[in-house]
Amino acid sequence: MAEKWHPDFERLVDEHQSMVFSLAWRMTGDRGLAEEVAQDVFLELDRHMSRIESPEHAMFWLRRVAMNRSADALRRRRVRGVDLWVEIEENHGTPAEDRSSPLSARLEQLLSTLPEAQRAALVLRYQEDLSPEEIAATVEAPVATVKSNLQRGLKLLRSKASTQLKEYIRGL
């Protein structure tokens, strides 16, 4: 029988903080909110440590909870009446030191204008390199829905990019 895995909380934070923070930031579009979400996710992990069975399970669990908490944070904002899209665009327009290139910045900005489900699918696909089946398991949706969201999201993003980022990308 395999030996039981004993997770080390600090090590899990070290290993996955970048992933959780990036998912939360790309889903909420707000750095401050993403930090809050990431904190909540890891504190929840701390409460559920006894149920985590393996490193893979920890990663899967963190991705799923990060996506759920980000969606909750967006919902709370909507309830509070904050104009999210204006805010996302404002937040994505700032700090220049976080950007790898102007094109990346513009692409992320365009991504933030996509509907939530499509954005989630694309973020998990292109940031986390997950297959549609893995995305479906993470967001708890049917694989067909995920594939559709990926196709539609990519198509929408491509069409937005073709009008707004033509100077950057060849082969659009």
Partner 1 sequence: MDFERPGQTGETGQPEQIDEFERELRQAMERRPAPPSLKRRILQQRSTRRTDRVQSYTVWWQRLAASVLLAGVIAGGYGWRRVEDRRKGEEAAQQVMTALRITNRALSDMNRRLVARNRADQQARQE
In the complex, the residues that contact partner 1 under the rule CB under 8 A are 9-10, 13-14, 17-22, 25-26, 35, 38-39, 42-43, 46, 98, 100-101, 103-105, 107-108, 111, 122-123, 125-127, 129, 131-132, 147, 150-151, 154, 157-158, 161, 168-172
Identify which of 153, 152, 151, 133 has the alpha carbon closest to the alpha carbon of residue 143: 133
54/151 with CB nearer partner 1: 151
11/78 with CB nearer partner 1: 11
Minimum Å distance from CB 166 to partner 1? Answer: 11
How far is it, in rounded angstroms, from Cα 42 to Cα 120?
Answer: 20
The three-state DSSP-derived secondary structure of 99-157 is: CCCHHHHHHHHHHCCCCHHHHHHHHHHHCCCCCHHHHHHHHCCCHHHHHHHHHHHHHHH
Minimum Å distance from CB 85 to partner 1? Answer: 19
